[in-house]
């Protein structure tokens, strides 16, 4: 998509962090922008920022784990902004835990947002883009969709699934000979609010009384420190996403230093040996 001026972008998780940065980057390109999130005050503040850039914008409180709510979002975007051209399935959460430690509630929450959020976004928006034979889809995964750090089994599973889904989407679009493009975003640590995603956990999926192991508590401390000290900002990642959309590039690997760990995993697979810890490489 070379000409973004006047086109319509949708960003889930768009009221903070990477989503907010993407929404603002698209608006600066002259795009109309719809953001979906759970935090009403942040939605309103971000919509005001977008409108201050001189573009039409709307915000919708949306639980992306609900197919009905994402369908309603798609209907509203088309009705109020006149169409849709760029879809960023970006909402994400990150409860941590050892592979046997994550509760059923943890699994339901993380897969509901990180995986079903993308599935619902594809179901609601992809047919519209394909019908008009124009548009681009960006699915936010993570480097945890390409490697498997310890202490984050559910998160790794959700992000590997997003990478797999997006790669298959690419092949399916090619099979259809569609002009719709797609990309998968795989950033490493970026200073955002992702480490505080528990604030948005639904009460029905609360972990009342669950005890965290010493290993999980240590992983949480490490994650918070790594996120807060990330070298690239959310704006840097948003700029990379924008460039990938304009260049129709599939993989968006924002942190070059992580490629060594990705290569090590590929080598371990091909050599049929046990996987090395990517955080120790």
Active site (catalytic) residues: 155
Which residues have CB under 8 Å from 133's CB, separation 6+? 178, 179, 180
**Alpha carbon separation from 106 to 93, 191, 255 (Å, rounded):** 10, 23, 28
C-beta of residue 18 within 8 angstroms of C-beta of residue 190: yes
Which single residue is written with the structure tokens 């924002």? 254
Assign 3-class secondary structure to the chain. Answer: CCCCCCCEEEEECCCCHHHHHHHHHHHHCCCEEEEEECCHHHHHHHHHHHHHCCCCEEEEECCCCCHHHHHHHHHHHHHHHCCCCEEEECCCCCCCECCCCCCHHHHHHHHHHHHHHHHHHHHHHHHHHHHHCCCEEEEECCHHHCCCCCCEHHHHHHHHHHHHHHHHHHHHHHHCCCCCEEEEECCCCCCCCHHHHHHHCCHHHCCCCCCCCHHHHHHHHHHHHHHHCCCCCHHHHHHHHHHHHHHCCCEECCCHHHHHHHHHHHHHHHCCCCCCCHHHC
* Rounded Cα–Cα distance for residues 224 and 216 (Å): 12
C-beta of residue 114 within 8 angstroms of C-beta of residue 65: no
């Amino acid at each position: 998509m070379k000409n973004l001026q006047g086109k319509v972008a949708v960003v889930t998780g768009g009221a903070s962090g990477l989503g907010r940065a993407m929404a603002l980057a698209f608006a600066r390109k002259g795009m109309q922008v719809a953001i979906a999130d759970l935090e009403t005050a942040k939605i309103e503040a971000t919509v005001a920022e977008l409108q201050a850039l001189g573009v039409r914008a709307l915000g919708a409180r949306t639980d992306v784990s609900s197919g009905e709510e994402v369908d309603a979002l798609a209907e509203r975007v088309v009705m109020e902004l006149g169409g849709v051209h760029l879809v960023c399935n970006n909402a994400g959460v990150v409860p941590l835990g050892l592979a046997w430690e994550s509760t059923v509630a943890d699994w339901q929450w993380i897969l509901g947002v990180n995986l079903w959020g993308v599935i619902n976004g594809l179901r609601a928006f992809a047919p519209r883009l394909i019908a008009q034979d124009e548009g681009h889809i960006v699915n936010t995964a993570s480097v945890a969709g390409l490697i498997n750090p310890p202490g984050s089994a559910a998160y790794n599973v959700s992000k590997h699934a997003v990478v797999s889904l997006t790669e298959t989407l690419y092949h399916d679009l090619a099979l259809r000979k569609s002009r719709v493009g797609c990309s998968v975003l795989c950033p490493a640590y970026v200073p955002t609010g992702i480490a505080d995603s528990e604030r948005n956990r639904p009460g029905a999926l609360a972990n009342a009384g669950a005890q965290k192991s010493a290993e999980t508590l240590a992983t949480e401390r490490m994650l918070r420190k790594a996120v807060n000290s990330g070298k690239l900002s959310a704006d840097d990642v948003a700029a990379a996403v924008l460039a990938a959309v304009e260049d129709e590039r599939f993989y968006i690997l924002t942190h070059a230093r992580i490629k060594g760990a990705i290569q090590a995993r590929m080598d371990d697979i091909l050599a049929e040996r046990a996987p090395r810890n990517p955080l120790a490489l």
